[in-house]
A and B are shown apart, each in its own frame.
Chain A
């Protein structure tokens, strides 16, 4: 597949018509997005929609089938100067079985010119990472903590966090969000964060990219994305009357009651009508919006 070159952004990530297929499985079908540097992006979408694959493509961990990817105006594939600015520890990252936690962290300063030993030490302490424990003996939560420690201590200008909360309890997740914010404020950089705990992490994000069916369904500032949908609930006929011709993302039925997640912003007229007809109308949270897109995607694939 050929892709027309897009004007490279001096600092940031440019994706143009990026595709990736595994045999007959077309995971990414033409991802186009422009990500200016030094922002925190939430990469959202249902399981299997291609979030990890997209991050792996950007960092050259795997090869794209088509399209164009640029970091700071250069193709990252096997580009040492560009890749040196990236850090992407996979959610299921494999480490050398013979390495302890301390040995996994030891090469960090050699790879990353801005590596912060102080950050690594602080995070290891806060997450209670046992330095002498072999990497293969770490629990799921400890593996996530190690990935977060490497990612934040790297101070890589392009840092990718792939579902970093897996296995972490509520307090450890608080530490994660706190540390991401602290590091970002002190040392601004581009952070791409894939997550399913959307509402929990939404306050961190500045922009969101929502993937659906292998393309970017929504790319917006987080506050705008939060206003991308609303939920209306009540008797079916009245709900349909309020929705009109607008796009319905999901519907749930309980007898004659209908709960619909509707794309778009509820107007004052909608609210007045809802009040009159005793319908419940409320803004959808970002999590509900992303979930609705995911359900729509599943329904489409079931029909197909």
Chain B
């Protein structure tokens, strides 16, 4: 018997396409986090050769500014976003999908990847605490960039960071697919100029807005990243509607 057709009927295959290679879409980001953690502990161990173990508080304070988690993820996820929107796009259309359903299916996949990175980071943070910072007082997740051990901030930071990386990749991948190399470069330049202009306005108006922004505390960067992710998502959706094979 035929199943009832809903909006999800058409979106689900595109999510399935995104997840066809789970190692690429889901597991590799976790492997990257594991690699980053191992590298951070090794660096801590190198420092410990001089300072002794566990690392004294002074060095621990230095490791508090370890931003490995923040720097290790975006590059790979950007490439996932590019390939998902570029190569998967032509596959999805060959398989009889609409652009709209392809975008929603891929966006669901991006959410899933981001969720996994967020939850994974949370688990690593828990392990870091449980092992008294990897037995030597080294830090990879209990760091300043992720809210100094606050689980909500850690999860939210890594979730939105993943989301913005994926959707930024999707945005540029879609522009490349729809309009080619020249317009991809033009888009990158335009976005860079707009970003500089925005920063200039913020600097210019800092006295007027600083109280409100600073009041947001550690959530400020998360909110800004989330806004960027939403803008990139909206941009990729808009351009995707014009893309052709």
Contacts and interface: CB of A to CB of B under 8 A. Distances in A.
A124 to B, nearest CB: 16
For the residues of B in contact with A, the DSSP-based class is helix
Interface string A48-92: 000000001001111100000000000000111101111111100
A177 interface: no
Contacts of A61: 93-94, 244-245
Contacts, number: 94
A110 B3 CA distance: 12
A194 B100 CA distance: 28
Contact of A94 (B2, B13, B90, B98): B90
Interface stretch (B15-23, B30-38, B57-65, B207-215): B15-23
A78 B99 contact: yes
Given A90-B245, A111-B13, A98 B91 contact: no
Interface in A89-139: 89-90, 93-100, 103-104, 106-108, 110-113
A40 interface: no
B6 to A, nearest CB: 11
Given A80-B10, A110-B13, A110-B16, A98 B94 contact: no
Task: Classify the secondary structure of A's interface with B.
Answer: loop
B101 interface: yes
B204 interface: no
A238 B86 CA distance: 60
B20 A87 contact: no
Nearest to A106: B20
A17 interface: no
Interface string B165-186: 0000000000000000000000
Interface string A144-169: 00000010001010000000000000
Interface string B74-102: 00000000011011101101111111110
Given A93-B94, A104-B20, A80 B87 contact: no
Given A61-B93, A90-B245, A96 B88 contact: yes
Contacts of B101: 80
B3 to A, nearest CB: 9
Given A103-B20, A106-B20, A96 B87 contact: yes
B5 interface: yes
Nearest to A79: B98
A95 B98 contact: no
Given A59-B93, A107-B95, A81 B24 contact: no
Interface residues of B, number: 29
Contact of A88 (B84, B87, B94, B241): B94
A83 B96 contact: yes
A112 B94 contact: no
Given A56-B245, A78-B98, A104 B91 contact: yes
Contacts of B17: 107, 110-111
Contacts of B245: 56, 61-62, 90
A62 to B, nearest CB: 4
Interface in B15-55: 16-17, 20-21, 24
20 contacts: A56-B244, A59-B93, A61-B244, A62-B244, A78-B98, A80-B97, A83-B96, A84-B96, A86-B96, A87-B95, A88-B93, A90-B245, A93-B90, A95-B91, A97-B83, A103-B20, A107-B95, A110-B17, A111-B95, A112-B96
Interface of B: 2, 5, 10, 12-13, 16-17, 20-21, 24, 83-84, 86-88, 90-91, 93-101, 241, 244-245
Interface of A: 56, 59-63, 78-81, 83-90, 93-100, 103-104, 106-108, 110-113, 150, 154, 156
Given A94-B91, A95-B91, A98-B83, 14 more contacts: A56-B244, A60-B98, A61-B94, A61-B245, A78-B98, A80-B101, A83-B96, A84-B10, A84-B96, A103-B20, A104-B20, A150-B94, A150-B95, A154-B95
Closest 7 CB pairs of A and B: A110-B13, A111-B95, A61-B245, A62-B244, A110-B16, A96-B87, A111-B13
